[in-house]
Chains A and B, each alone.
Chain A
Amino acid sequence: MATTACFIIVSRNEIPIYEAEVGSAAKREDAAQLHQFILHAALDIVQDLAWTTSAMFLKAIDRFNDLVVSVYVTAGHTRFMLLHDSRNDDGIKSFFQEVHELYIKILLNPLYLPGSRITSSHFDTKVRALARKYL
């Protein structure tokens, strides 16, 4: 499991709709904002890259010091962004794919307004379980 990992789902209009610190490292006070900054900055690159490939998984697209940003872009341009320090491309890909399935289930909920914050605790537990499994 990665020591640092921050997973964020960003809606198509660049609003974070789900955030989770899934790393095993002890949580530091300023880590959350640094992670947000790095992931937010990586949006520029996602913007460029998303249209150059048909694959949803964009691999590691950006890095800041030893932290790497991997991104998965759904067909609806919702971006799953993972900030991590481990090199486990396959695991990350599987993680993204499974989270995508979970996300689709959320979308199928008629009470969920697409683009709004995901508050489902069930989703949260599932994502964290997946992070433990794959990262």
Chain B
Amino acid sequence: MADPATTLLGKMLLDEITPVVMVLRTALVEESCRKNGVSLVQMLSPFCNFNNIDVPVRTASDQPYRLHKFKLRLFYESDIRQPNLEVAKEQLKQVIAQAGEQDLSELCSDPPQISNVVGRSESQILPSWFQFFNKELMHTVSFSDHEAFDHPVACLLVVSSKDEQPLNRFVDLFNSNKLPSLLNDGAMDPKLLKHYLLVHDNQDGSSEKAAKILTEMRSTFGPNDCQLLCINSSEDGQIEHQDNPWAPYKSDDSPSQHLGSFLNSDDLNEIKDVMQELSSKHTIPYMEQKIRMLNQQVSATRKGFRNQIKNLWWRKGKEETSDSLQGPMYTFSSIESQIRILGDYAFMLRDYELALSNYRLISTDYKLDKAWKRYAGVQEMMGLAYFMLDQSRKDAEYCMENAFSTYLKIGSSSQQNATRCGLWWVEMLKAGHQYKEAATVYFRICGEEPLHSAVMLEQASYCYLLSKPPMLHKYGFHLVLSGDRYKKCDQIKHAIRTYRSAVSVYKGTTWSHIKDHVHFHIGQWYAFLEMHDIAVAHMLEVLACSHQSKTTQELFLRDFLRVIQKTGKTFEVLKLQLPVVNISSLKVIFEDHRTYASPAAASVRESLWSSLEEDMTPSLSNARSNWLEVQSKLISKSYTESNICVAGEPVKVDIEFKNPLQIPISVSNITLICELSASSEEIKSDTNGSTTKRQSDDESKMVATTGEMSSGTSFFTLSEVDVSLGGGETILVQLTVTPKVEGTLKIVGVRWKLSDSVVGLYNFEPNLVKKKIAKGKRKGKSFPSNDLMFLVIKSLPKLEGFIHPLPERVYAGDLRHLVLELRNQSDFSVKNLKMKISNSRFLTVGNRDDLTKDFPAFLQKTNAEQSGADGNFSKMPQAMFSFPEDSSIQGETPLMWPLWLRAAVPGNISMYITIYYEIKDVSSIIKYRMLRMHYYVQVLPSLNVSFQISPCPSRLQHYLVRMDVENQTNSENFQIHQLSSVGQQWEISLLQPFDAIFPSPSLFAGQALSCFFMLKNCGKSTSSDKISSPLICSNVSLQGSADKLFDITSSPLADFHYCERLQHGVSQDDTSTVDFILISQPSKSDGSGISDPQHLFSHHACHCSTLSSSPITWLVDRPRAVHHNFNASFCEVNLRMTIYNSSYAAVFVRVNTFDSPSSSGQSSDATSLQSNVPSGNQTGWHEIPVLTDIKLTSQLPPNQLRKLPSLESVPPFIWSGSSATSLHLEPMSSAEIPMKVCVFSPGTYDLSNYALDWKLFPDNSREDEAETSQTSGTCPGYPFYLTVLQST
């Protein structure tokens, strides 16, 4: 450690703990001095500091030492008293306030970087007024009675030569009652060293009179103690001193006055001599003498073992009597005071050893006496003495700590002492580079007085900064604490200063509450100082405070808006945090050759569209030159990167705004920031192109910067959106920019106005890099990329399309008539319209004349003849629909075209429609455009229709059809209107009259229905022309009135039916399958059963197979009842079996008959199982003919039926004739086999005990089918009954 005297504390002590000289003067002396603008003390003080003296000193020890520096402190007698605390406080406050004013300019600058602050030296960091403040603070406790170093050592009596009877005046001065209380109340020895000084003002005449008085004085007061001082030697008072010694005393009232202007160099030298003599010849020797005397006295009474014992005993005895907190009163004559004086004098003469030993001696005494204040004072001095001795730092600190805590213990009266002690302690620690500890001491110093503690905390914070390594967190925290206290004392500038430093610490912190606190308060304070710009900058930081409570958020926002209002101007803030812009939600929708009818269409993936448009566009590009090539010729290479948009058509930008707060905020005037520079071509053509260019630049810049919507002159128009965001709400805002001229459009960012006062800007640029990458990835498919550069081309016609009335929700099977409306707002006409629909099962194009027809009435057949359905049918395969050549759209008249919607299957159905059109004006870059429409329909299930077909056992080529209909809706009722079978060869008819099977006219919600039909294969159709053949159908009305049948062969129904057929796959065997179309109409909801004529439902069932598992069908033709006289002979009945081969292959058939019913039954079971397994859906079907046959034979009693199996022993009948007949059947041919059965008794017989074995001959042409289907099998006989009656 360096020499303690050179440290700050050392210097401070050498400065502060020095002998005090009390100055007594007459009024005339003061008057003479005032001519120079200074008081007497002020005039003399600069010369009391002796830096270059050499005075030998000998204190208690015999070894003399030399003092090279010395100082005297001069005070008027009136100032030697304890300062008034209130006045002192006021004074301190002024010191601080003044300091605050000084660095006002600094407050406006940016806060310093924390990295710059760290590592600076102490003197650079600490504001200079701290030391001054600390000194002033220490002075508030000077002249205390418990310390001797502030007690005057000497008394300087000053009388002017103008005074009358100067000698008497000297005596009067000392005897007056104005002497300080310290002398009067016995706290110190009134016998002081007296020094007499006669002041002569040279302006008042020659010094002869003064010399005379001096001799008188010398004779009266002693020759050594009297001196003459002549001042004001300068006549004109124009002397200017270089490095004026009185500069610190310059008052603010008259700054122009030169201090000491009447004092010439002779005067100065004289003053110097006088003071030097006072110190070295009088004060120091006096003190030496006193020390020696006191030391002797102390040694006599207190040193040595005996004295100590005595002292202890004496104090013990005293203990009981006085127990006050202040301890006993010590007069100057008491031994304790004497020791203290001895210590202090020794300290002042820098004999620290002596001082320390005496302090030690006295401290125990005071402790025993419980004179805590004196004890603390002594401890304090011990600490300082230890420090100056540079011996034990630990001891020094211990003493200081002890003193400090003792002072604090005493209570508020000693708070100031504690502060001074603490400040010394801090300096001591600082001298030892223990900044961290110093900081804690500073922290302990700060008491209730907020202003002092503010300064102390600030000093503490600097200590943390200076400690190694710097403790920045603590630094920031203490700065904030200090700033809060400054604010409490209305020292806003100081508060800002501390917070500014704190901001640099907390810059970029994620400790949200800290950040908010610091920025909000500093912002508030700046606003208080009317420095609104900086205030706003800080307030902006706290706006997005989602973590704060609602009230705090309100407070922040309110204050912010108030500050903004005060500024009286609209702020533009880049990246305003309120509301939050969700940049990832940014989506740009623009239309080049692809146009969209609705936003929903724009959001559909591009790949979907391009696959849909695949064969629309290439046909064009093949026909003529590729439009891309044309474009690349026209557009310079740099433009090919950017997107194309059309003048007059808006570019839409979707972006999300999120309110992070819990309180609602209003955001208005949300617009895009765009730049549009007119295209170079235009400028070339223009004569004064350069000016246009510049103007356009200025224009765009103006728009970009100020955002004014000067739509009259601007090259583009912007849309404005106002939204109100509730707490935590996120709103998607669609903004548009509509360029008006050709050129390059760039979307720069978005701007908005928060609460009508702050304008927030957000530039999209930072994300541009990211987008570029993304764009590279999806190169090839030209998705509306987010690239924000657009090439604006000349305006083009644009079709707008609507479909109405498109329902959002329909029931399955619903057939509706829709109208597509296309409009072209521009003057140019378009041509070559083509349309493609993604889902032709749901949506088909109608004929133009459908528009005028009345749906669904026109579908109803008026006469039985088939009306021209052929044209439609042939049109169907092509998926692309070309509008007629003459259909051009221009201006107001829209193009209407009918569409048919049929909700084929339940579910959520997306329909994509794309319309291609060419622009007649070919000079443009874009030759054609596409209109994309996307519609979404929800289809609910309505009727579930299923058909099951089985061959009719009683007739060849006849089939029984069961139709199961179930109403799956919740509320709708349906009326089944008509069932049609499609196909030339099929004819359908009701099995029963319709009113027998339909008890109610409508099918209610949830109801199911089964009914039976007879299907007859009447015609022959060759498989070659089945597709192109017109749709021929046979209808059966389920409502009784045949004239109201709908013609399913006409346009929409037939078209949809074709689609359904395609959907279910084309059957290879057209002759054996049948399609059904069920037409129904919803009933009116009131349940009256009257169908709603506006709606038509069609349900299609395609490719219902009529085939059972075997290729053959047969029929046994027999008389139903035979009368025979069994008395004569047994009965012989001839039967005839007709076998039909319905397959395309030749079949070998063998008919086997069995005589035993049991064996036939078994084999029948076995074979039926065998035959039933492959065709699962036929399982239940064998029961049905039985049922129908039972109906037919219902005249027989049931018990007879049951009896039949019991006839076991003798078969009641036997097959006669050949037991097995084999034959070969050609495809699609039939053959007849005669059969005969012999019956022995009357009765009803089940003649089912026969079987047909069949085997397919493999056919070359149908090899594939032969592999998949069964090639052979056995069919059991049908149960058919023969009744033989006894004839009479």
Contact = CB atoms under 8 A, between A and B. Distances in A.
A29 B549 contact: yes
A40 B472 CA distance: 10
Given A40-B511, A43-B473, A44-B472, A29 B517 contact: no
Interface stretch (B92-100, B474-482, B947-955): B474-482
- Range, interface on chain B: 20 to 34
Contact of A41 (B474, B509, B512): B474
B441 to A, nearest CB: 15
A37 B549 contact: no
A94 interface: no
Contacts of A43: 473
A44 B549 CA distance: 29
Interface string A40-71: 11111100000000000000000000000000
B16 interface: no
A44 B473 contact: yes
Contacts of A38: 477
B78 interface: no
A129 interface: no
Contacts of B511: 16, 36, 40
Contacts of A42: 473
B552 interface: yes
A113 interface: no
Interface in B1218-1273: none
Given A29-B549, A38-B477, A16 B510 contact: yes
Contact of A37 (B471, B472, B477): B477
B381 to A, nearest CB: 31
Contact of A40 (B464, B473, B549, B551): B473
A40 B506 CA distance: 10
Contact of A33 (B471, B474, B517): B517
A40 B513 CA distance: 11
A29 B516 CA distance: 13
A33 B832 CA distance: 71
Most chain-B CB neighbours within 10 Å: which of A15, A42, A44? A44
Interface string A11-43: 000011000000000000100110111101111
Interface in B480-521: 480, 509-514, 516-517
Given A42-B473, A43-B473, A33 B514 contact: yes
Contact of A36 (B472, B474, B478, B514): B514
Interface residues of A, number: 15
Nearest to B478: A41
A135 B511 CA distance: 24
Nearest to B548: A32
B549 A15 contact: no
A15 B510 contact: yes
A33 B545 CA distance: 13
A6 B240 CA distance: 66
A42 B472 CA distance: 10
A42 B471 CA distance: 10
Given A29-B551, A33-B516, A41 B510 contact: no
A40 B514 contact: yes
A43 B471 CA distance: 9
Contact of B513 (A15, A33, A41): A33
A38 B474 CA distance: 9
B552 A36 contact: no
B549 A41 contact: no
Interface string A61-101: 00000000000000000000000000000000000000000
A43 B1188 CA distance: 96
A21 B513 CA distance: 13
Nearest to B555: A29
A95 B474 CA distance: 26
B513 A44 contact: no
B363 to A, nearest CB: 31
Contact of B514 (A15, A37, A45): A37
Interface of B: 464, 471-474, 476-478, 480, 509-514, 516-517, 549, 551-552
Pairs A-B, 4 closest by C-beta atoms: A41-B477, A44-B471, A33-B513, A36-B513
24 contacts: A15-B510, A16-B510, A16-B511, A16-B512, A29-B552, A32-B513, A33-B513, A33-B514, A33-B516, A35-B513, A36-B512, A36-B513, A36-B514, A37-B480, A37-B514, A38-B477, A40-B511, A41-B474, A41-B476, A41-B477, A42-B473, A44-B471, A44-B472, A44-B474
Given A29-B551, A36-B514, A44-B472, 8 more contacts: A16-B510, A16-B511, A29-B552, A40-B511, A41-B477, A41-B478, A44-B473, A45-B471
